[in-house]
Each structure stands twice: as structure tokens, then as C-alpha cells.
């Protein structure tokens, strides 16, 4: 993967190459292998390259053979060889970048629908004077922009936009409320006013008069009714689709490895990699936390031994969080929304010593019902039959009476108390419910991203579609991209191959959730490839023991940052509510790790990215990260 930047002037002026160069320098970690710039009239493109395919050629920005089209591209087109063969074009390179020019020359902006892979790219057509921005279907790769009456700026990461603007925009309070509800900000918004995300599966046209309307070329493929299929047919179809997806993800001219937690998803990916590698050892990478409740290193070792991988491990400690929190916030351009983000980066650092590309299991839970909440999809929907006043009176009392260790039951009770079906669906992952956000912020705020969102299908299908459209791209995929690119490593998730996604949403719910256990069809595929104890063990997840750390090694830091009079928490939130949160957790009466982490991460982001007072850059230079 790479980093892209660019601008279009609306005021008759020309792009300043030095500004483009400064923007691109903020993305050096995304592309340490080279840079390039191009200006045509009022449009300027910039590029930082991480060489994965056609290492000696395919420098960018790249122009078409006739000089009419120009592209700056971040990503991988995994079906580029087939597209090259189908397109009559005078190729000068052997890579995938030139395919974008050939495809646009043939079909114009509609050609984006033919691409399989992960991508975010800008293509300027001198003939029509249109600048097009395209983002991949699932939002695996990022793309941001800013527009006013005189200029349009775009970049792979927000920090590059701020270099182009020369200032930091004001805080968007609606997006702060969104973050408290979701641990991320839903597209197209960000925490900064005027900075926007190109939404997944969307193309944006920028003409000489301003920004046109965004065009959605892909949506979550939910069918009115699932297709009729037997269990055996479903298992065979999923096995075939995943095998093809993993094969596609191995397309590279550099070494490829994989993350391996020892859970079902990553283990299944590695087993299919081992098959495709035909006897060549696969390199795998795992992280542990030294906490017996959550440490999956023994399971990762079991899978690695069974599949014969060349296995590498790293242990993550509380000190790593203190050392990396600020620099990784700089890389994230937002709050580090999951504590496991730090562990993902440590994994990427380890992987970067051996490979340039890693495969992961992202997307399996959202496609095949892997979260505990999916068991309660129907109950979440039907809870609305009970008057909200009754639920509001009873459920908070029940939740408050539950012991600190009853995490999942507590989450379920909290979710069922929300007003609307959309709010209940999102509440399963929410640090702060609507009433709690009102208390903290002193009123209502937020974007109703899922208001009116009602895809066809049963309650489970709707919940999965919501996860795939929001939670996955805005949180997990954003995390995966930033934490791996901070180490100049490319991440590829085979489960998010468009054919796998389409197949998953065509299958009946019984193939996903059965007898209270999720990912049924994946488990059947895995039974022929993995030890049974790996296939059947309960989901643990990539857990960090924050509950203990916030009572020990991270306690003083948390209290100091959240109660300081100059903090963002003091500026925005009810100080008494914040202190009670800390007191309840430290006493052991409740486990408030998620909410403390959410507030702390916002505080660190404000320090690093808004006020610029964090020591972000130096800490990652030795790992290939830091700014250029």
C-alpha cells in the first residue's frame, strides 16, 4: 500500500508543488520506497510508494500512454492480471497501477466496479477536466478530503490534509458524541469540522466548479430472501470462495505472512495459505499479554505447529501502552479506539522484520455472526415491543446491580434499554449510551447514521449488514490500516473479498448461527484443516487486560489526564461523572475499562493531533514509522 495526496484549485491558481511535497512527507510511513508529484493545470497529485508489485517500475503518479489520464493510487488490484488480459491497451509496465488507467480509458469512472482488491485512488481526466476519487467496497483503505470555495484537498490520512490547510479545524461536537457511542466516527464525518471521509463503495467527482455528488457503486449485498442451499452446499461454497480469496491475497512480488491469534478466523486463513504455498513455510505472527485470562499465545503455537509455519511471537506490556499511545494516536489521526490497536502495531513491527504484507482474519465476525451479540439479534429487535418508559425504569437498575464480572450480561441489559432498533443495534459496542452521553455533554448531539437504515432480511441479517457498513470500516479496518502502515506493512483481509461477502449475505442464517454458536459454516470448513480443539473452542477475542492495568500500572496516568483542569474532559464533560467513573473502577465494584479507555484515548488525541503537544514522531522512527 501507499500514501496519496492531491489538490484542485477553484480560484484560477495552480497547485503548489511544495505544499504537495509537505503533505506527502506526512505519509512517509505509508510509502518509504519513493515519491512523485504531477501538476496539470489546476490539479496536482502526489504519491508515496510502498513497493509490492512491479518493484522496478510503476512509479507514481502515472500517466496514460496518450497523456490524457493521470492516477495516484494506494492499494492492490488483486484481479489485475485478468483485467490486463481483457483490456486492449499499450502497457508499459507489468503492475496493477496501469490497469486503472487502461480500465478508465475503456469505461470511464464506471470501471471501478470491475476491480477486486483494496484501493483508494485519484484519477484526473484532462479530456473531461474531471478529478475522480474512488474508495474500495468495504473501506479497507482510507481516503479523506477537505473542500471550500477556493481549494479541494485529498489524502490517505488526515495529518496530510492539515499540512495542506496549514491549520487545524475546530472540533465537531456531533462527532465527539458519535465517538462516545461507537469508539469511532462514522463516515463521512471526522472529529474535525470540514474534514470528510470518502465513504466505502463510493466515487466522488470533483469538477472545476467544486465537489459533485458522491456516487455509490456498491452497497452491502443483502438479498430479500436467502438462497436455498443445503448445509453441504453451503460449506463447499464457502470453502471454495475462501480458497480463491486467499490465493488472490498472495499476489505480490515481496514476502507475505499472516497474523495468527490461534482463533478460528486467523487459523483458517493460515491453513489456506499453507495449502496455497505448496510446502513452502508460511510466516506467522502472534501477540500475548502475559495475562492467563486472555493470552492466546499457546493456541497460536498449537496452530503453528499443526500447520508447520515459521512462527514469531511478541509480548505486549503496560509499558508499551505508555510508550506507544501518543505516537500511535498520531498515526491513527484519531483516538486509539481499541486497546488492542497497540498490540496490532507491535505485531506489525514484528512482521515488518520478515515480510512486507500480512493477511488477517478481519471481517469473519461481521459476515458469519461471530460476536456474542449476534445471538441476541432477534431479542434486540423485539425489545422495542416493551414500552421505552418501562425499559428505562427497570433495566438501568438491573444493570447497576450486576457484579463487575458479568460483562456480557451487563452489555445485553444496556443494549435492550435503548429507544430505537438502530440505537439498540449499536449499543452492543457502545461505551456510553444515549442518556450517558447527554449527561457527559449536557445535551443531545451526534449524527443519526443508521436512522432509517433498514435493509431486507431477518434481525440477524440486518445486524450483520449494520456491522459491515459501520463498525467494520470506521473502527476495525481503520485500526488495521493505521497500525500496520505505522510499521510500513500492508494488511490484507481475505474474508472481505467481494465474492466472499456476496456469498455470506446470500446464505441462510442457520449456516451462520446455530444452537447459540456463531460462524457455523466456517467451523465446518475448518474441521478438515485444523485440530478440533481449535475449531470448537469459545471465542476469546484480541483482549488486553485493561481492567487490571487501570487499577495498577495505568491508574495514576488515567486519573491525572482525565481530571486535569486543562484537559479536554474538563472542557467538554461533567467532571463529577468522570470522577465517579474512575472511583467505581478503582474500587473494584464495577469494570469500567472500556469507558475509561474511550475517554483517555480522546484526551490523548486532543493533545497529539489538535494541540500538537504529543511526542508522536520520534518514538516510531526506529520502527520505520514517524513522519518524513
281 near 270, Cβ under 8 Å? no
Q: What burial class does residue 283 get, using C-beta atoms within 10 Å of its C-beta: 0-12 exposed, 13-18 middle, 19+ buried? A: buried
281 vs 310: CA distance, rounded Å: 6
3-state secondary structure of 152: strand
Run of H or E residues at 9: strand 3-9
239 near 525, Cβ under 8 Å? yes
Handedness of CA 240, 242, 247, 251 (dihedral sign): positive
Given the C-alpha cell 490534509, which residue does it identify? 161
3-state secondary structure of 77: strand
412 vs 374: CA distance, rounded Å: 11
C-alpha cell of 586? 478503582
Neighbours of 10 (CB within 10 A): 18
Cβ neighbours of residue 73 closer than 8 Å, sequence gap 6 or more = 2, 4, 47, 60, 62, 97, 100, 119, 121
C-alpha cell of 207? 469538477
What is the gyration radius of the CA atoms in the chain, in angstroms? 24
Active site residue: 2, 103, 131, 270, which one?
A: 2
Residues present in the chain in total: 628
Cβ neighbours of residue 65 closer than 8 Å, sequence gap 6 or more = 89, 90, 92
Q: Long-range contacts for 15-24 (Cβ within 8 Å, ≥24 apart)?
A: 15/39, 15/42, 15/43, 15/44, 16/44, 17/44, 19/163, 19/164, 20/44, 20/45, 20/46, 20/164, 21/46, 22/163, 22/164, 23/153, 23/155, 23/160, 23/161, 23/163, 23/164, 24/48, 24/160, 24/628
Buried b (16+ CB within 10 A) or exposed e, 340-371: bbbbbbbbbbbbbeebbbbbbbbbbbbbbbbb
4 vs 388: CA distance, rounded Å: 48
Nearest 5°: the CA angle 486, 489, 495 is 115
Look up 249 and say whether it is catalytic. no
Residues acting as catalytic residues: 2
Amino acid at each position: 500500500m501507499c500514501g496519496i495526496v492531491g489538490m484542485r484549485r477553484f480560484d484560477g491558481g495552480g497547485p503548489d508543488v511544495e505544499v504537495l511535497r509537505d503533505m506527502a512527507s506526512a505519509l512517509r510511513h505509508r510509502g518509504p520506497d519513493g515519491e512523485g508529484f504531477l501538476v496539470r493545470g489546476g490539479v496536482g497529485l502526489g504519491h508515496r510508494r510502498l513497493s509490492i508489485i512491479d518493484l522496478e517500475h510503476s512509479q507514481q503518479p502515472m500517466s496514460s500512454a496518450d497523456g490524457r489520464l493521470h492516477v495516484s493510487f494506494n492499494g492492490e488490484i488483486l484481479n489485475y492480471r485478468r483485467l490486463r488480459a481483457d483490456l486492449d491497451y499499450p502497457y508499459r509496465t507489468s503492475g496493477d497501477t496501469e490497469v486503472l488507467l487502461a480500465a478508465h480509458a475503456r469505461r470511464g469512472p464506471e470501471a471501478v466496479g470491475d476491480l477486486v482488491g483494496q484501493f483508494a485512488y485519484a484519477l484526473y481526466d484532462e479530456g473531461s477536466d474531471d478529478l475522480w476519487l474512488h474508495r474500495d467496497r468495504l473501506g479497507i483503505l482510507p481516503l479523506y478530503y477537505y473542500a471550500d470555495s477556493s481549494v479541494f484537498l485529498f489524502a490517505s490520512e488526515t495529518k496530510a490534509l492539515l499540512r495542506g490547510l496549514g491549520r487545524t479545524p475546530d472540533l465537531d461536537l456531533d462527532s465527539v458524541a458519535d465517538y462516545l457511542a461507537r469508539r469511532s466516527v462514522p463516515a463521512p464525518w471526522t472529529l474535525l469540522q470540514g474534514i470528510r471521509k470518502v465513504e466505502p463503495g463510493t466515487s466522488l467527482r470533483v469538477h472545476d466548479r467544486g465537489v459533485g455528488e458522491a456516487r455509490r457503486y456498491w452497497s452491502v449485498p443483502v438479498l430479500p430472501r436467502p438462497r436455498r442451499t443445503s448445509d453441504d452446499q453451503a460449506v463447499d461454497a464457502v470453502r471454495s470462495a475462501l480458497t480463491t480469496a486467499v490465493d488472490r491475497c498472495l499476489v505480490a512480488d515481496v514476502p507475505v505472512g499472516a497474523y495468527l491469534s490461534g482463533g478460528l478466523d486467523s487459523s483458517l486463513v493460515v491453513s489456506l495459505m499453507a495449502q496455497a504455498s505448496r510446502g513452502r513455510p508460511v510466516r506467522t505472527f502472534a501477540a500475548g499479554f502475559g495475562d492467563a485470562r486472555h493470552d492466546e499465545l499457546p493456541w497460536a503455537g498449537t496452530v503453528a505447529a499443526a500447520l508447520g509455519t515459521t512462527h514469531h511471537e511478541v509480548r505486549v506490556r503496560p509499558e508499551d501502552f505508555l510508550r506507544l499511545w501518543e505516537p500511535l494516536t498520531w498515526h491513527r489521526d484519531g483516538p486509539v479506539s481499541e486497546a488492542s490497536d497497540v498490540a496490532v502495531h507491535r505485531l506489525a513491527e514484528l512482521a515488518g522484520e520478515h515480510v512486507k504484507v500480512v493477511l488477517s482474519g478481519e471481517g469473519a465476525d461481521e459476515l458469519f455472526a461471530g460476536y456474542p451479540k449476534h445471538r441476541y439479534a432477534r431479542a434486540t429487535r423485539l425489545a422495542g415491543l416493551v414500552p421505552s418508559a418501562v425499559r428505562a425504569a427497570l433495566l438501568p437498575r438491573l444493570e447497576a446491580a450486576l457484579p463487575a464480572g458479568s460483562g456480557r450480561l451487563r452489555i445485553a441489559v444496556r443494549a435492550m434499554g435503548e429507544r430505537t432498533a438502530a440505537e439498540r443495534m449499536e449499543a452492543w459496542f457502545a461505551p456510553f449510551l444515549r442518556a450517558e452521553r447527554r449527561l457527559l455533554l449536557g445535551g443531545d448531539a451526534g449524527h443519526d447514521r443508521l436512522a432509517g437504515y433498514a435493509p431486507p432480511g431477518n434481525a440477524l441479517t440486518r445486524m450483520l449488514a449494520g456491522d459491515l457498513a459501520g463498525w467494520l470500516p470506521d473502527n476495525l479496518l481503520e485500526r488495521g490500516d493505521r497500525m500496520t502502515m505505522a510499521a510500513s506493512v500492508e494488511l490484507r483481509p481475505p474474508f472481505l473479498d467481494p465474492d466472499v461477502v456476496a456469498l455470506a449475505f446470500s446464505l441462510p442464517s442457520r449456516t451462520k448461527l446455530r444452537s447459540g454458536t456463531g460462524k457455523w459454516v466456517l467451523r465446518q470448513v475448518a474441521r478438515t484443516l485444523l485440530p478440533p480443539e481449535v475449531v470448537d473452542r469459545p471465542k476469546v477475542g484480541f483482549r488486553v487486560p485493561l481492567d487490571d492495568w487501570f487499577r495498577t500500572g495505568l491508574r495514576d496516568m488515567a486519573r491525572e489526564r482525565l481530571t486535569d483542569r486543562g484537559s479536554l474532559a474538563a472542557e467538554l464533560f461533567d467532571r463529577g461523572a468522570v470522577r465517579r467513573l474512575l472511583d467505581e473502577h478503582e474500587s473494584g465494584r464495577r469494570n469500567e475499562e472500556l469507558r475509561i479507555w474511550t475517554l483517555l484515548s480522546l484526551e490523548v488525541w486532543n493533545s497529539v493531533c489538535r494541540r500538537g503537544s504529543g511526542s508522536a514522531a520520534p518514538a516510531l522512527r526506529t520502527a520505520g514509522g514517524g513522519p518524513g
